[in-house]
Structure 1
Amino acid sequence: MKTIIAGAVLAAALSSTAYAQDVAMKAVAFKSVEKTDKQAFASNLVGLDVYNNANEDVGEIKDVVMGADMKVTGLVMSVGGFLGLGAKYVIVDPSSVVVSHDDAKKEWTAKVDATKEQLTAAPEFKYEGKFDD
């Protein structure tokens, strides 16, 4: 009997949570969009090496930062260090990184007009608090 009551209480609690989430989802109108040739997926960017104008590897895109409006507001880059040791994360403005696709090589490329020193001097970002995985 206790199992049945516990199950009923659990089901009621879960259904009220689902209902609250359902109400929030209905507050936003649904829109569908179509993919264009001028778009890229975040999965194309994460892990992409970033080169500067001297064609030096200056970092790697590790994450994409989005604002409340779901527009990209930053790119988390791993910079500095050697073979991944001693590297730090910085967030760069997405407009300062040029991302393009080389159709002949079938690969994505990223360039930034900054030196290694400029990037490592940028404020450090740490995955802490609500950003922990």
Structure 2
Amino acid sequence: MKTLLAAAALSCFAAGSAFAADTTGGGMMMADHATATIRYVTVAPADIMSSKLVGQDVYNNQGDKIGNVADLVIDNGKTVTGVVLSVGGFLGMGEHYVLIDPASMVLSDKNGLHGVVDTNKDTLKNAPAFNYKKS
């Protein structure tokens, strides 16, 4: 049940429920000055804060640790459109980043919060690299 709640939370987060700042209800915007009236929101029980996701380990279905959550990509201040995984490294050496669709990862809180994806280390090693400098 907790795994289902965690997956629902990522789904809610991906739907943009955690961000609201403009007057149309569309999400955070890039600007030098705020023009929207401040509104307050509440956190639902199934919501997960990004600070709790970043840094969490990610495993495959076989229980092998394949990396960790390095970052989240938020489209237009509204929707999580990507999860940056740090993979392939050992003690910070040789790691690289891959960007996956949030729908391809579930969250589990069995033995502590972590991500689970249906892949293996070799597939991630050959995945297109995500480069922060180009983003």
Corresponding residue to 2:43 among 27, 35, 41: 35
Alpha-carbon displacement from aligned partner over 1:74-111 (angstroms, at most 9, x marks no partner): 11111113332111001111111111334xx5x31211
Moved beyond 4 Å, runs of 4+: none
Other-structure match for 1:125: 130
How far off its partner does 1:69 sit? 4.1
One-letter identity of the residue aligned with 1:119: L
Q: Determine if the alignment matches structure 1 residue 108 to structure 2 residue 108.
A: no
Give structure 2 stretches of 5+ with no counterpart.
Answer: 1-30
1:21 alignment partner, SS class: coil
Larger proportion of helix: 1
Distance in 2 between residues matched to 1:46 and 1:61, nearest whole Å = 5
Percent of counterpart pairs with the same letter?
A: 39
TM-score normalised per structure 1: 0.70
TM-score normalised per structure 2: 0.69
One-letter identity of the residue aligned with 1:116: K
Other-structure match for 1:70: 78
Distance in 2 between residues matched to 1:101 and 1:125, nearest whole Å = 27
Q: CA RMSD in A?
A: 2.0
Q: How many residue pairs align between the two structures?
A: 105
Distance in 1 between residues matched to 2:102 and 2:124, nearest whole Å = 14
Other-structure match for 1:21: 32
Relative contact order: is structure 1 or structure 2 higher (C-alpha 8 Å, sep ≥ 6)?
Answer: 2
Alpha-carbon displacement from aligned partner over 1:54-83 (angstroms, at most 9, x marks no partner): 000001111111001421001111111333
One-letter identity of the residue aligned with 1:21: D
One-letter identity of the residue aligned with 2:113: W
Pick the structure with greater CA Rg.
1
Give structure 1 stretches of 5+ with no counterpart.
Answer: 1-19
